[in-house]
């Protein structure tokens, strides 16, 4: 059996090595257009920032080692030009000498990845304008910063690659301005969670222009970036990181079925519309297990898992890929930002009714030194099905997002989160971990013990019908209050109930939501119509 794999990085190289483990006799050929196979794309920004100092560390395995260790033939600088599905051949060009030849296959695997989107605007081809996808891209950026002694950069796009590049350039002494068309960075998370990232970027002296897009780049001292608002930003260099486009021209020309955004359609065995051709990674359309909708999720985790399944299928096993849920994580200076599942906008677009709760919890017991806060948002159905979670914090975010990701995969509900028995000792967690707490809170909401409102309702509420009650202690009020709120500290609430009008709905808040919950319970059991502000004043103040 001869398997040809097009694309030799995340998906392609993993397919090849798994296939070798499954079938010692298989003939396996990788065709890779670029100079390297199996490099660590995800590490590229960190070499620019000097965190990963040795460039070689990004080169996971060389073609020679792949041959010696796995008996896999990897041909770099070999581009697949076309596929003849009837003859089962690939037309290939050796880019080092221009020679073209035909390679036959029994099974073909497409893992061609994606290419950075270049916006169709004037100036994107000027020297000093870059994208980051490959080792040569990284080398070009590195050399430019060094040779030109760049001190200013404009990063177009506030997604995870844009943020990683921004951090790494800023750490290298380059003043970064991020331009983002949306009103927030990190589209997978909701606005109030992204607002914390905006504040942190500001704290780290990264300039951020939201709700503004790129209009043109001009060669002027050395570059001028004109934004759609008319604002002009002078810079030494521009990094375009506005997303990726699936690399599917080969598949299209071969007549394979294409789907969403030109992605390759695959079945659950990851076979394309031609049963002898498999496709994986950034180039494919895949089912989201929560929404049931087809999506394109250009991340390394799904690509490498799909690779294993394809290899197993080629080797004769019957393996299905169940789908993705969209779990991601990114470091933004001192913060970690992570999410899994669907966010509010996606749920609203799908027309799925949902509820959400926000907590500000510690990563471990507060009395143990070094505890740090994390904002944690959980989205769930009225029946308790977990739809998604988002976290922003300094420590412990990775652990919680992975617990929720696993819970979603296992089909667990918010009630299961209440009971999860998670590892605890003071340096690592709390007897009631943040995951348990958010489960308790969601359970409270679903059981009717607590009603919440979100930050974006505050300014819309009719003051004739609603009264805001701040239950923080007086010394906490200096950081701000909701206009017109009544202040009765939680400890005095039972004695001062007569100060609260029964004729109005009481909107309670404290700093993070917990005392607000306690106050809500007191008021509810005293006959008040009461709601608690989700995430407390902390979440509200991040966005206002
Ligand atoms: P790739 O790994 O891109 O491999 C595709 C290869 O196919 C390319 O090398 C290309 O040259 C080759 N190719 C294309 N067409 C042809 C052809 N016709 N002939 C021959 N070869 C061809 N994901 C995460 O999950 N976490 C992260 O932290 C993360 N960080 C990232 C940081 C950066 C800077 C970048 C660029 C990506 C990051 N990703 C991250 C995304 C991740 O790298 C991709 O999802 C993953 O590499 C996709 O694997 P793939 O095999 O589909 O494509």
CA 147 to CA 156: how far, in whole Å? 22
pLDDT of residue 389: 98
Report which protein residue has its CA nearest ligand 1's atom 6: 7
The pLDDT tens digits of the residues spanning 66-105 come to 999 999 999 999 999 999 999 999 999 999 999 999 999 9
Distance (Å) from CA 210 to ligand 1 centroid:
28
Cβ of 18 less than 6 Å from ligand 1: no
Q: Is the CB of 301 under 6 A from ligand 1?
A: yes
Span from the CA of 298 to the centroid of ligand 1 (angstroms): 8
Nearest ligand 1 atom, CA 116: 36
Contacts of 467 (CB under 8 A, 6+ apart): 486, 500, 501, 504, 505, 506, 507
Which of 300, 327, 329, 398 has most ligand 1 atoms within 8 Å of its beta carbon, as the pocket-test mutant?
300
Q: Whose CA is nearest to atom 45 of ligand 1?
A: 299
Instruction: Report d(CA 235, CA 179) in Å as an integer.
Output: 13
CB 32 within 8 A of CB 78: yes
pLDDT the model gives residue 544: 83
Q: Which positions ≥6 away from 410 have C-beta within 8 Å? A: none
Q: What number does the ligand 1 atom closest to the CA of 44 have?
A: 34
Q: Whose CA is nearest to atom 15 of ligand 1?
A: 112
What is the predicted pLDDT for the residue at 40?
95
Question: What pLDDT was estimated at residue 221?
Answer: 79
The 3 state secondary structure assigned to 317-366 is CCCCCCCECCCEEEEECCEEEEEEECCHHHHHHHCCCCEEEEEEEECCCC
Low-confidence ranges of the chain (pLDDT < 70): none
Residue nearest to atom 50 of ligand 1 (CA): 113
Q: Which atom of ligand 1 is nearest to the CA of 45?
A: 34
Which residue has 């290419």 as its token pair?
A: 115
CA of residue 10 to ligand 1 center, whole Å: 6
Residue 246: in which H helix or E strand, if any? strand 244-246
326 in contact with ligand 1, CB cutoff 6 A = no
Residue among 94, 108, 121, 206 nearest 155 (CA): 206
Pick the atom of ligand 1 nearest to 14's CA: 51
Q: Ligand 1: does its nearest atom lie under 6 Å from the Cβ of 247?
A: yes
Q: Which residues contact 506 (CB under 8 A, 6 or more apart)?
A: 466, 467, 469, 500, 523, 528, 529, 530, 531
Which residue among 30, 112, 402 has the greatest number of ligand 1 atoms within 8 angstroms of its CB, and so is best to mutate? 112
Backbone conformation region of residue 244, classed left if phi is above 0, alpha if psi is from -120 to 50, else beta = beta
Element (H, E) at 46: helix 44-48
Give the residue numbers marked as catalytic.
42
- SS3 percent helix, strand, coil of the chain, rounded to 5, is 35, 30, 40
CB contact burial 211-237 (16+ within 10 A = b; e otherwise): ebbbbebeeeebbbbbbeeeeebebbb
pLDDT tens, residue by residue, 138-191: 999 999 999 999 999 999 999 999 999 999 999 999 999 999 999 999 999 999
Q: Is 471 exposed, middle or buried (0-12, 13-18, 19+ CB in 10 A)?
A: buried
Pocket probe for ligand 1: among 132, 135, 303, the residue whose CB has the most ligand atoms within 8 Å is 303
CA 81 to ligand 1: nearest atom: 18
**Residue 135: which of 209, 26, 64, 33 has the closest Cα?**
33
- pTM for this one? 0.96
Ligand 1 site, residue 34, Cβ cutoff 6 A: yes
Beta pairing partners, 533: 453
Check pocket membership of 162 for ligand 1, CB cut-off 6 A: no
Q: Is the CB of 233 under 6 A from ligand 1?
A: no
Q: Is the CB of 79 under 6 A from ligand 1?
A: yes
* ipTM of this complex: 0.99
Please give the distance of CA 492 from its chain centroid, rounded to a whole number.
43
Q: Is 300 in the pocket of ligand 1 (CB under 6 A)?
A: yes
Report d(CA 187, CA 154) in Å as an integer.
19
């Amino acid at each position: 059996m001869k398997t040809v794999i097009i694309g030799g990085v995340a998906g392609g190289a993993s397919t090849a090595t798994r296939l070798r483990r499954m079938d010692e006799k298989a003939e396996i050929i990788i065709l890779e257009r670029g100079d390297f196979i199996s490099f660590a794309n995800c590490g590229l920004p960190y070499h620019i920032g000097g965190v990963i100092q040795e460039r070689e560390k990004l080169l996971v395995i060389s073609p020679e080692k792949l041959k010696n260790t796995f008996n896999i033939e990897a041909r770099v600088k070999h581009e697949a030009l076309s596929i003849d599905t009837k003859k089962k051949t690939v037309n290939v060009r050796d880019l080092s000498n221009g020679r073209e030849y035909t390679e036959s296959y029994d099974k073909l695997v497409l893992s061609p990845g994606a290419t950075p989107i270049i916006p169709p605007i004037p100036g994107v081809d000027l020297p000093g304008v870059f994208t980051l996808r490959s080792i040569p891209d990284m080398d070009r950026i590195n050399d430019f910063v060094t040779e030109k002694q760049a001190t200013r950069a404009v990063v177009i796009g506030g997604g995870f690659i844009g943020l990683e590049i921004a951090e790494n350039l800023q750490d290298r002494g380059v003043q970064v301005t991020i331009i983002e068309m949306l009103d927030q960075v990190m589209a997978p998370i909701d606005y109030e969670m992204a607002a914390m990232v905006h504040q942190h970027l500001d704290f780290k002296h990264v300039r951020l222009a939201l709700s503004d897009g790129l209009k043109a780049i001009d060669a002027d001292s050395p570059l001028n970036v004109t934004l759609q608002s008319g604002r002009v930003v002078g810079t030494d260099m521009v990094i375009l990181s506005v997303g990726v486009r699936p690399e599917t021209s080969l598949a299209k020309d071969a007549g394979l079925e294409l789907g969403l955004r030109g992605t390759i359609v695959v079945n659950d065995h990851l076979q394309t519309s031609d049963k002898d051709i498999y496709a994986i990674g950034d180039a494919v359309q895949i089912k989201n297990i929560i929404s049931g909708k087809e999506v394109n999720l250009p991340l390394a985790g799904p690509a490498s898992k799909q690779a294993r399944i394809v290899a197993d299928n080629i080797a004769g096993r019957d393996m299905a890929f169940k789908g993705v849920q969209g779990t991601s994580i990114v470091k933004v200076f001192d913060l970690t930002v992570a999410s899994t599942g669907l966010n509010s906008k996606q749920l609203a677009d799908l027309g799925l009714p949902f509820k959400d709760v926000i907590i500000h919890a510690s990563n471990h017991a507060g009395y143990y030194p070094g505890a740090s806060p994390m904002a944690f948002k959980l989205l769930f159905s009225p029946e308790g099905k977990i739809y998604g979670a988002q976290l922003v914090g300094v420590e412990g975010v990775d652990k919680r997002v992975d617990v929720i990701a696993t819970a979603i995969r296992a089909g667990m509900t918010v009630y299961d989160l209440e009971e999860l028995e998670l590892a605890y000792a003071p340096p690592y967690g709390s007897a009631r971990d943040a995951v348990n707490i958010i489960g308790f809170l969601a359970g409270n909401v679903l059981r009717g013990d607590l009603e919440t409102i979100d930050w974006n309702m505050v300014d819309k509420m009719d003051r004739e019908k609603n009264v805001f009650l701040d239950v923080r202690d007086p010394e906490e009020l200096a950081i701000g209050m909701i206009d017109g709120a009544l202040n009765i500290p939680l400890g005095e609430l039972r004695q001062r109930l007569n100060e609260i009008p029964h004729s109005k709905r009481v909107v309670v808040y404290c700093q993070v939501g917990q005392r607000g919950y306690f106050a809500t319970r007191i008021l509810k059991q005293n006959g008040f119509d009461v709601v608690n502000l989700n995430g407390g004043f902390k979440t509200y103040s991040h966005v206002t």
